[in-house]
Amino acid sequence: MIQLMERYSADLSALNRLHNFPESSSKITAFSKYIDSTEAELNAKNFKNLSPSERADWHLMKIELDEQRFELSELKKNLAESSFLVPFMSEIVKFHDHRISRTLPNSEQFAADLAHLESSIKAAHGSIKDQLKTKKPGEVAPEHVVLRTVSTLRNSKSALESWHEHFAGYDPMFTWWTKRPYEDVVKALDSYSSFLRSELTGRDADPNRIVGDPVGREALVAALRREMIDYTPEELIAIAEKEMAWVDAEFKKAANQLGYGDDWRAALEHVKTLHEKPGDQPKLIRELAEEAIDYLEKNDLLTIPPLAKDVWRMDMMSPERQLVSPFFLGGESILISFPTDEMTHEQKLMSLRANNRYFAKATVHHELIPGHHMQQFMTSRYNTHRSGISYTPFWTEGWALYWEFLLYKRGFAATPEDKIGFLFWRKHRCARIIFSLKFHLGQMTAQECIDMLINQVGHEKSTAEGEVRRSFGGSYPPLYQAAYMLGAFQLWQIRRELVETGKMPEKQFHDEILKLGNMPWAVVRKLLSGEEITEELKPWKFYSGSIN
């Protein structure tokens, strides 16, 4: 199984490097063929003869192949949905396929093909322009489909550039025949792409406008099944709403301790004013990181290799990146979100308030140790054949949020201000489940998601916008934002079954999870408990009430 998984990772990487035009039909065909052959090889394994670890790997490969097949299916569906906007796609694919075929060009023929492609692009441009004479933009095509098409056109242009630059200047006849037709095609692509963006979307008027691409209930249910989660989207929303009510009750207790009665909003506003002055945020981050490490070691909660404590580093986040990630990002390097001199006065104040010392205390350990840095450190050293194959955000984010739960329960958040910092993020993770699932179900707009974060969680306007932009910008899968709290609840349930019953020491429990690597929690549960792993591994129900 190890050899199969390592070979699969190398093969997939090689195929991606060759087929670097994401929307090409040849890529879809090549990947489908490879997935089918790998699945046949996997199915040929004698499952009964596999060890428990190998059986887990067998399931991880099954999940991976299902995920790859689903992504190809979604890509084909999306391309079919936007095909009327790019009826010339097969013509562009022809150039990409020639580039990767390692054959010499028929320059005169390619010049004719380029001329035909230019005509096809202009014809599509003219057709959409004619439709706009009698229809509104949204009636011609949904905005998210248009933005997806603009991205396809950008990739198409890159594929053409790769093809042309490979021969131009090196083959005199190629350059003589294709220089002008190629330039005309690029000009037509740029013109058409600009037209779609300006006339069918609102991006030119507001480049930071959030649109998103809702996937629908069917896709959400399928994704949950692949994560081995036995709940519907609606059931998960109900869980998040129940958890939010628990957080609100805790918020009121902390507000009372600060002298604000039940007014948690007033207490939250007070905490937001307790931020570092410009230039001092890195010092605070270092102190908070060291505080968390000291606490873990003094309480014997986790084995931390000395090198893991030495190699993490800090980088400041650019203003542009903060539009999408208004808080920390982490791993071996923690990216610090804090005001820069080029921000407006209002932006500076919002960033200061959003990155106050108590919000930071609740999240620095999430990003570094025991969170994402610790995860990456261990998965690059143990069971490395699983890296990149069994990735799931429910493990990645669930582990990091689990520690927020555990540290809060253990009293690491000692002061009322500490508690408010932790509770803010906990409520934020409840909201992530609700707004992300409802958005993809078509029940909330992006603006309604922003309003929810401001009105119900207490976000600054800029951080709410950044959070929603990050959620629906296309870089994260639909379940990613829900994965934080749902992953943490899965891990906590395994803890209840193994640690709280005395079957496994707490430190060993944490150490073993990191060494096993990134995988669905249903698989982790089987491996840690020693239960038999059968060929049919069913999704599970893991929620048994709030962690308090």
pLDDT one-digit tens code per residue, 361-401? 988 999 999 999 999 999 999 999 998 787 899 999 999 99
Domain co-membership, 48 together with 185: no
Considering the domain boundaries, does residue 213 fall inside one?
no
Domain final residue pick, 30, 58, 81: 81
pLDDT one-digit tens code per residue, 106-124? 999 999 999 999 999 999 9
Domain co-membership, 228 together with 174: no
CB 186, CB 117: distance < 8 Å: no
Whether residue 291 has pLDDT greater than 90: yes
Domain co-membership, 94 together with 55: no
Considering the domain boundaries, does residue 187 fall inside one?
yes
pLDDT one-digit tens code per residue, 200-241? 987 666 666 777 889 999 999 999 999 999 999 999 999 999
Domain co-membership, 303 together with 280: yes
Q: How far apart are CA 94 and CA 24, in angstroms?
A: 9
Domain co-membership, 294 together with 326: yes
Considering the domain boundaries, does residue 535 fall inside one?
no
Q: Which residues form the domain of 126?
A: 89-200
Q: How would you class 375 by CB atoms within 10 Å of its CB: exposed for 0-12, middle for 13-18, buried for 19 or more? A: buried
Considering the domain boundaries, does residue 548 fall inside one?
no
CB 152, CB 88: distance < 8 Å: no
Domain co-membership, 479 together with 429: yes
Domain co-membership, 394 together with 436: yes
* Least confidently predicted of 132-136, 311-315, 471-475: 471-475
Whether residue 439 has pLDDT greater than 90: yes
Domain co-membership, 224 together with 181: no
Domain co-membership, 301 together with 402: yes
Number of domains observed in the structure of the chain: 3
Domain final residue pick, 166, 200, 234: 200
Whole-number average pLDDT of the chain: 93
Considering the domain boundaries, does residue 541 fall inside one?
no
Q: How far apart are CA 182 and CA 121, in angstroms?
A: 13
Domain co-membership, 263 together with 395: yes
CB 429, CB 401: distance < 8 Å: yes
What pTM does this model have?
A: 0.91
Considering the domain boundaries, does residue 210 fall inside one?
no
Domain co-membership, 284 together with 357: yes
pLDDT one-digit tens code per residue, 313-352? 888 777 766 666 667 677 888 887 777 777 778 877 877 8
Phi first, then psi: what are they for 154, rounded to 5°?
-65, -45
Domain co-membership, 467 together with 408: yes
Domain final residue pick, 59, 81, 103: 81
Considering the domain boundaries, does residue 544 fall inside one?
no
Considering the domain boundaries, does residue 524 fall inside one?
yes
